[in-house]
Structure 1
Amino acid sequence: MYNFLRRITFTLLVIETLVGMAANGFIVLINCIDWFRTRKLSPNDLILSCLGLSRLAWLVVMTLDRTKVFFSLGNHIWDTHVMPPIVWIFTNSANIWFATWLSVFYLAKIAIFSHPIFLQVKQRISALVPWLLLGSVIFSAMTAVILMTSLNNGFAMCNPSNDSEIKEPDSWKYLDILGMAPNLIPFLIFLSSTILLISSLWKHMRRVQSNGTGTGDLNTQAHLSAIKALASFAVLYLSSFLAITSQAVLILNNMDHSLPVRLLDLVVAAYPSAHTIILILINPKLKQAWVRMLHPLKCCLREVPT
């Protein structure tokens, strides 16, 4: 019974990650096609492309790790390879930084505030986006290198050259949590942007209602679409963080291959997959491209004889 449930969980995880890879790859592909056609990319599309690439790489690394665990190819992919954990930490950190700059971009472009600092940011945000993304890449790379160097030093201290038994330091068991710890700063920035955007929507709706013009204007719809994207990210990311924390506790108690650990993998993988689908649905250009891509498939299915 356990092996059956384990196979079902792994199958669901594969489907979930494949959907996430397809959705993130779709965003990158559409924006690359637009870039080749027009030789320019809007700041919003640039952020979405970087976000899609980082999530795609994150899902690939996660799939490799879970596949190795499922087929018992080793205790953990991190045991024998240094590159996968570096890539995981790098893509995980870059992922949340890109999502943070997306929230800041939405705030600057949509929110209605009259503070001079906000107005300055509003005017310069488009020009700042490439530099913010580049800074995020550099910061994420430095975080991955520093963390892996510290972990490798701890590994060497636990395994002297004359010690025949290989020992794993406790810090390696918390690798996933340690990899997410530097994300606290961008996540706080993300939450601040989301709260300010909600405040801006509340302020705008009060103004609209006092004027008696209704709440169906374009600015209200823009606020609501952005808040859907940001709120869904916050819920999914926090769920993923709690799942990773729970997995670390279970692994520390020698429950590496237990069913709860595998079920929590589904929660972790839902974060980059489900949120990307939401981003596609709220983006008119991506949504139209998605519908156009699915239309021939629907026609083919209708023509298949029953």
Structure 2
Amino acid sequence: MATLFELFGFVLLVIETLIGMVGNGFIAIVNCIDGFRSRKLSPADMILSCLSLFRFAFHAVLMQAAIFNLFFMDSFLMPKIKFSSDSSWLFLNTASLWFAAWLSVFILYCVKITNFSHSLFLQMKRRFPGLVPWLLLGTLVYSALATIVATMDITLISECSSYESLLGNNTDSGIKTSDFCKYSIFLYVVPDLFPFMIFLFSSILLLTSLWRHKNLLRNTAKDVSTEAHLNAIKALASFCILYVSSFFVEILNAVLSWMDTVDLWVRIFFFNVIAAYSSGHAIILIFINPRLKQESVRILHQLSRWLHRRTFRWVCP
């Protein structure tokens, strides 16, 4: 029976999931419509569309996992359901981490305010937009391979628990099996470290560039407003906090699950942090992108007018 705290966490998770699915779905739909009209997607729109679509699907898998954990524990322990849920989670989450990292790298290399003059940086800045489709394709392949390895690791971990319970003496084969089980968690953790390091490095460079450019404008031209730079710094810093928090919660959740010491309320809390990251970043992307912001304001205005007409007809038939 779920406790009051767990039910409150689940309700909060439902709200965060709905916000995330609406926000990410909105971004994907707007980009797809614009791409259909212009018959071309820019590199930034490619990354945003892939990121939004995968996050939309990830929210659905996240909600499914929360429902199974909270209300159908017996069903969730069924091997086929657990394998399907874990595989979907791993693939969508790994791909989303990579897409978010590529988005950060794209902004770093292609935004004109970056002022690093290293030859390698300038060469990558020229070539990166053309590499985006291949990077996205490589991300899908890498995520699929990482998911296969990680799901094999999950199977081995469950087998390790059975092996260790049956070990009655310290044979050499038993020691080897135990040692492998001890370090098998790294097969799950290591693949996500690469996009995290890429994202962290590019975000630090971009924040440094923004801060330097803001100070340069303030020192050279006293009457120039730096509000746009401050808003960009705040948005990027907020995204970094959400990304880092979600990443460490993912790792902690994996380690605790591997140790089989995670409680249900802790898992629900982890789900809320992960959902807050995806939902919060979608909102940030909408507000810092003029095209998405304008389209969202237009849709909200039309929705308010429609609700007003419906309310007026209901009050005054």
TM-score normalised by L of structure 1: 0.83
Distance of 1:276 and 1:184 partners within structure 2: 22
Distance of 2:204 and 2:123 partners within structure 1: 20
Tell me by how many angstroms 1:46 deviates. Answer: 0.8
Which residue number in structure 2 is paired with residue 5 of structure 1? 5
Bigger radius of gyration among the two: 2
Tell me by how many angstroms 1:176 deviates. Answer: 9.6
Deviations 1:12-46 (A, max 9, x none): 21121111111111111111111111110111111
Tell me by how many angstroms 1:5 deviates. Answer: 3.4
Percent identity, aligned pairs only, is 43
Tell me by how many angstroms 1:215 deviates. Answer: 4.1
Which residue number in structure 2 is paired with residue 186 of structure 1? 195
Distance of 2:14 and 2:254 partners within structure 1: 21
Tell me how many residue pairs correspond in the alignment. 295
Which residue number in structure 1 is paired with residue 212 of structure 2? 203
Which residue number in structure 1 is paired with residue 29 of structure 2? 29
Which residue type is aligned with residue 154 of structure 2? L
- Give yes or no for the alignment of 1:138 onto 2:145: no
Which residue type is aligned with residue 243 of structure 1? V
Which residue type is aligned with residue 221 of structure 2? G
Alignment of 1:193-272 (within 5 A): 193-212=202-221, 214-216=223-225, 221=228, 223-224=229-230, 226-245=232-251, 247=253, 252=259, 254=261, 256-257=263-264, 259-272=265-278
Which residue number in structure 2 is paired with residue 84 of structure 1? 85
Answer yes or no: is the 8 Å Cα contact 1:177–1:245 preserved in 2: no
Which residue number in structure 2 is paired with residue 70 of structure 1? 70
Which residue number in structure 2 is paired with residue 106 of structure 1? 107
Tell me by how many angstroms 1:151 deviates. Answer: 2.6
Distance of 1:8 and 1:209 partners within structure 2: 47
Which residue type is aligned with residue 108 of structure 1? Y
- Give yes or no for the alignment of 1:279 onto 2:280: no
Structure-2 change in CA distance of 1:3 and 1:156 (3 Å): closer
Question: Unaligned regions of 5+ residues in structure 1, if any?
Answer: 164-168
Distance of 1:45 and 1:264 partners within structure 2: 30
Instruction: Give the secondary structure class of the aligned counterpart of 2:145.
Output: helix
Distance of 1:293 and 1:228 partners within structure 2: 26
Distance of 2:25 and 2:67 partners within structure 1: 21
Answer yes or no: is the 8 Å Cα contact 1:98–1:133 preserved in 2: yes
Tell me by how many angstroms 1:80 deviates. Answer: 3.0
Structure-2 change in CA distance of 1:127 and 1:256 (3 Å): same
- Give yes or no for the alignment of 1:150 onto 2:153: yes
Instruction: Give the secondary structure class of the aligned counterpart of 1:40.
Output: coil
- For 2:127, which of 124, 127, 133 is the aligned residue? 124
Structure-2 change in CA distance of 1:237 and 1:198 (3 Å): closer
Which residue number in structure 1 is paired with residue 173 of structure 2? none
Structure-2 change in CA distance of 1:254 and 1:97 (3 Å): closer
Deviates more, 1:269-278 or 1:200-209: 200-209
Tell me by how many angstroms 1:248 deviates. Answer: 5.5
Distance of 1:87 and 1:39 partners within structure 2: 31
Answer yes or no: is the 8 Å Cα contact 1:78–1:85 preserved in 2: no
Answer yes or no: is the 8 Å Cα contact 2:189–2:251 preserved in 1: no
Which residue type is aligned with residue 263 of structure 2? D
- Give yes or no for the alignment of 1:298 onto 2:304: yes
Answer yes or no: is the 8 Å Cα contact 2:9–2:268 preserved in 1: yes
Tell me by how many angstroms 1:265 deviates. Answer: 2.4
TM-score normalised by L of structure 2: 0.81
Which residue number in structure 2 is paired with residue 166 of structure 1? none
Which residue type is aligned with residue 144 of structure 1? T
Structure-2 change in CA distance of 1:34 and 1:176 (3 Å): farther
Distance of 1:90 and 1:77 partners within structure 2: 20
Tell me by how many angstroms 1:278 deviates. Answer: 0.7
Tell me by how many angstroms 1:84 deviates. Answer: 2.2
